Structure 1
Amino acid sequence: MIYPSTYQAARLIAPKVEAIFAEHLAAAREKGEEDLAPQPTAKVVEAILDATFWASLRKEEGHSPKISLAFLPPQQAGNPLLFKQRFKLNPGILTKLAPGIERAGIHLGIWADEGELYIWGTTVSIPNFCFVVDVSEPALLVIKHRRIYGFGKFTNVAVLKGDQVKMVDGKSTSIPDCPPMLLSLLDLTAPSYWNDSVNVLIQLAVSMRAHARGGTLLVVDNENNNWLQSIIKPVQYYVQPSFSGLSKLLQQDRKESSQIFWQTALKREVDHLAGLTAIDGATIISNNYELLAFGAKIGRAKGKDNIDELAFSEPISGGDAVVVHPAKVGGTRHLSAAQFVHDQRDATALVASQDGHFTIYTWSTYQNRVQAQRIDTLLL
Structure 2
Amino acid sequence: MMNQNTYQAAKTASVVLENHFKDLIRVAIEKGEQKIASIPKQQNIEAIINVAFWASLRKEEGRSPKISISFLSPEEAEQPLLFGVRLPFNTNTLVKLAPGIERAGVHLGVWEENGSIYIWGTTLTIPDYCFVCDVSEAGLLVIKHRRLYGFGKYTNVAVLKGDEIKIIDKQFGSEKDSPSVVTALLDLNSPCSLNNGVNVLIQLAVSMRKHQHGGILLVVPPNSSEWRKSIVHPLTYPVYPSFGSLAKLMEDYKEETAQIEWRIKLYNEVENIAGLTAVDGAMVISRDFNVYTFGAKISRKDASAVLETILYIEPVDGGEAKERFAGEVGGTRHLSAAQFIYDQRDALAMVASQDGHFTVFSWSEVANKVQAHRIDTLLI
- The alignment's TM-score, normalised by the length of structure 1, stands at 0.98
Structural RMSD (CA): 1.2
SS of equivalent residue, structure 2 residue 150: coil
1:187 positional shift: 2.6
Paired residue type of 1:144: K
* d(CA) in 2 for partners of 1:216, 1:311: 19
Q: Which residue of 2 aligns with 1:293?
A: 293
Q: Is the 8 A contact 1:77 1:125 kept in 2?
A: yes
Paired residue type of 1:155: T
* d(CA) in 2 for partners of 1:246, 1:194: 14
Deviations 1:51-107 (A, max 9, x none): 100000000001110100000000111000000001110000000000011111100
Q: Is the 8 A contact 1:342 1:363 kept in 2?
A: yes
Q: Which residue of 2 aligns with 1:379?
A: 379
Superposed, 1:15-54 pairs within 5 Å as 15-54=15-54
* d(CA) in 2 for partners of 1:230, 1:324: 23
Superposed, 1:187-336 pairs within 5 Å as 187-188=187-188, 190-256=190-256, 258-336=258-336
* d(CA) in 2 for partners of 1:257, 1:284: 30
Paired residue type of 1:195: N
- The alignment's TM-score, normalised by the length of structure 2, stands at 0.98
Paired residue type of 2:176: P
Q: Is the 8 A contact 2:184 2:190 kept in 1?
A: yes
1:244 positional shift: 0.3
* d(CA) in 2 for partners of 1:103, 1:134: 12
Q: Which residue of 1 aligns with 2:341?
A: 341
Gaps of 5+ in 2: none
Superposed, 1:17-166 pairs within 5 Å as 17-166=17-166
Q: Is the 8 A contact 2:147 2:187 kept in 1?
A: no
* d(CA) in 2 for partners of 1:303, 1:3: 63
Q: Is the 8 A contact 1:173 1:187 kept in 2?
A: no
Structure 1 stretch 255-264 or stretch 300-309: which is displaced more? 255-264
Q: Is the 8 A contact 1:2 1:115 kept in 2?
A: no
Superposed, 1:169-184 pairs within 5 Å as 169-184=169-184
* d(CA) in 2 for partners of 1:296, 1:239: 11
Q: Is the 8 A contact 2:3 2:90 kept in 1?
A: no
* CA pair 2-26 structure 1, distance change in 2 beyond 3 A: farther
Q: Which residue of 2 aligns with 1:352?
A: 352
Paired residue type of 2:132: V
* d(CA) in 1 for partners of 2:18, 2:188: 17
Paired residue type of 1:209: R
* d(CA) in 2 for partners of 1:98, 1:253: 36
Q: Is the 8 A contact 1:155 1:188 kept in 2?
A: no
* d(CA) in 1 for partners of 2:41, 2:151: 27
